[in-house]
Amino acid sequence: MTNAIEVRDLTKAYAHNQAVDGLTFDVARGEIFAILGPNGAGKSTAVEILEGHRTRDGGSVSVLGVDPATGGRAFRDRIGIVLQAAGIDKELTVGEVLDLYGSAYSRRRPADEVLAMVELVEKSDDRVSTLSGGQQRRVDLALGLIGDPELIFLDEPTTGFDPAARRRSWELIEALASKGTTVVLTTHYLEEAEYLADRVAVMASGKIVASGTPDELRASADAGTVIRFTLPAVDAALAGLLDPLVGNATGRDGKIEIVTAKPTADLAHVTAWAVSHGIELAGLSVESMNLEDVYLRLVGDEVVSS
Amino acid sequence: MNDLRLLFKSVRAENRIFWRTPIGAFFTLGLPLIMLVLFVAMFGNEAGFSGSITTSQFYAPGLAVFAAASATYTNIGMLLTVRRDDGILKRMRGTPIPPRVFLAGVVLSAVWIAFVSTVIMVGLGIVAYGINIELAKVPAMLLSFVIGAVCFATLGITLASVAKSAASAPAIANATLLPLGFVSNVFVSFGQDSPRWLEVVGDIFPLKHFATAFSASMNPFTQTPAIEWGHLGVLLLWTAGGALVASRKFTWEPVAGATPRGRRSRRSR
């Protein structure tokens, strides 16, 4: 079976901004693939090129064996798109909206089935304008599903959801994938990517800075262990503490973070230094790196500035 | 076949949206009716108001045309820009709904609404003010209505193509349609002593041609069949010109820098 998506050396520039700068990746059929990254990393631009919403400057793109730029109606008949901020005609009822959009697809799911999937059955006769933001987002999702797509794009599908609604959406997305639907989602929630994705690509400044399964990502980032503590005051002897740990230690406002592959030795060094200076290290902790640490190291300053 | 069904559903949805927005329905249908009642009350319904016809014979077709133009031109300009700003058009572009079917649905629905308002206007003229409609001139009425309404519907898409956002669309619509109403035999009758340049302005734009062609088909003094080919030809030219501009300029996504809803925060650089 061929891949659902094959992208090679994809580039796209706006006036002063190389939004997508040489992306290469594959998505297998039936896979949940997450593109993770801070705002402005180029996630939406990349996905909109795959959806056929945007043209590319260079590289090749194949989605379901078709070039989205020229795939036209037959291509859009096979995909579902849930955009980040696309409106719905508010004067229509949920059922009317599903009927209107649904009739455009050759393989449509029954409206009742879709409403059940997104848990909006009792809202079928309500106007969209009367729904809450989260319910409207579920109508978005329903519209993405109405054509029974082979591949669905979800652009930050659970932004603004409460934790329970997010969990239910995750279960729905998992259920879709288990029936063979390929899912491409963008998100800036780490736990979303970690929970859902078979594979993750981390984007920053238009490039993929890391990719793989969540487990591989941890490993590839040379994960190791994080030692954290807070110094009561900046001390003249600080240099003596940090010198042997150069390259691994970062400090800001007295909060020190040391990423290390030899935590036992480094911890011994830190505690010996603290004891000899009569300092109690506040909030001292030793943890193995989680995906968030990996992510923050990968995207670096991007996150701090956004 | 599938496209026809899609077109039907799309026209039906457009119609629902229109009638469920009472303020829009009032401005489109109610206001011209109020104007007809007011004008006839102000000037009296005597013969000789404009040439040898009565006040209501002058105003009923003129205001029917004005209502038809706002039902098509103004409404389409507004609904398309609002939906573009809201991302509804972008959503549409991501589905298999063909753009032509969607736009045809918008046009047909607007023409239908224009038809309803025209029937109400002419109906009020017949019932309340004793206007006579001649059966032999009904084909001319229908023909000039359809050509005029399709022309203004097309220009509504053109308007949405040049307006940057839903905030500017109604301003452009009113700034174009209302002044034209005064030089196009809609709000005031043009006599021999009217300034020549105002007449020329009226002749350039389509509203006067729509009003003149439609009025002729309701005028008891015109020759049957009362089809004004010259005026209809000008309307067809405007339709073609408007369609050409729209085909080059129409966009499905919010225009950058127009600060549409929900994207304000991203407006940097």
pLDDT block averages, 10 residues each, chain A of length 306:
87 87 92 88 90 91 93 92 87 94 92 91 93 88 93 88 86 90 89 89 87 80 74 60 62 74 82 81 79 71 42
Positive or negative, the Cα torsion across B111, B117, B120, B122? negative
Any idea which of A161-165, A242-246, B90-94, B213-217 has the lowest mean pLDDT?
A242-246
- Which pLDDT score is estimated for B231? 87
Positive or negative, the Cα torsion across B194, B199, B201, B202? positive
Residue from A250, A282, A286 nearest A267 by CA: A286
- Which pLDDT score is estimated for B267? 32
- Which of A17, A101, A129, A306 has the most B C-beta neighbours within 10 Å, making it the best mutation to test the interface with B? A101
Q: Report CA-CA distances (Å) from B160 to A201, B19, B165, B167, B180.
A: 39, 21, 8, 11, 19
State whether residue A22 is helix, strand or coil: strand
How many whole angstroms separate alpha carbon A106 and alpha carbon A74?
9
Give the closest of B16, B91, B269 to A16, CB-based.
Answer: B269
How many whole angstroms separate alpha carbon B127 and alpha carbon B43?
19
- Give this prediction's pTM: 0.82
- Which pLDDT score is estimated for B264? 36
**Cβ pair B94:A52 closer than 8 A:** yes
Give the closest of B6, B262, B269 to A103, CB-based.
Answer: B6
The matching CATH number, chosen from 3.40.190.10, 3.40.1670.10, 3.90.1150.10, 3.40.50.300, for A5-78+150-219 is: 3.40.50.300
**Cβ pair B91:A87 closer than 8 A:** yes
Instruction: Decide if A120 touches B, using CB distance below 8 A.
Output: no
The structural domains of chain A, with segments of one domain joined by +, span 5-78+150-219, 224-288
Measure B185 CA to nearest chain A CA, in Å: 36
Q: Which residues contact B167 (CB under 8 A, 6 or more apart)?
A: none
Instruction: Decide if A130 touches B, using CB distance below 8 A.
Output: no
Biggest CA–CA distance in chain A, Å, is 76
Q: Which amino acid is at B269?
A: R
ipTM for the predicted complex: 0.83
pLDDT tens-digit profile of B142-196?
999 999 999 999 999 999 999 988 889 999 999 999 988 888 888 887 766 778 8
The matching CATH number, chosen from 1.10.10, 2.40.50, 3.30.70, 2.40.128, for A224-288 is: 3.30.70
> What residues in B contact A87, CB-CB < 8 Å?
83, 86-88, 91
- Which pLDDT score is estimated for A270? 83
How many cross-chain Cβ pairs, A to B, lie less than 8 Å apart?
72
Instruction: Decide if A73 touches B, using CB distance below 8 A.
Output: yes
**Cβ pair A91:B21 closer than 8 A:** yes
How many whole angstroms separate alpha carbon A254 and alpha carbon A252?
5
Residue from B107, B186, B106 nearest B146 by CA: B107
pLDDT higher at B134 or B82: B82
pLDDT tens-digit profile of B221-268?
777 777 788 889 899 999 999 999 998 999 888 877 654 444 333 333
The size of chain A, in residues, is 306
* Chain center to CA of B238: 13
| A202, burial (CB in 10 Å: exposed 0-12, middle 13-18, buried 19+) | buried
pLDDT tens-digit profile of B109-146?
999 999 999 999 999 888 888 888 888 888 889 999 99
- Which pLDDT score is estimated for A294? 72
- Which pLDDT score is estimated for A249? 66
Is residue B44 pLDDT above 90, yes or no? no
- Reported as type and span, the H/E element at residue B49 is strand B47-50
> What residues in B contact A127, CB-CB < 8 Å?
20
Instruction: Decide if A281 touches B, using CB distance below 8 A.
Output: no
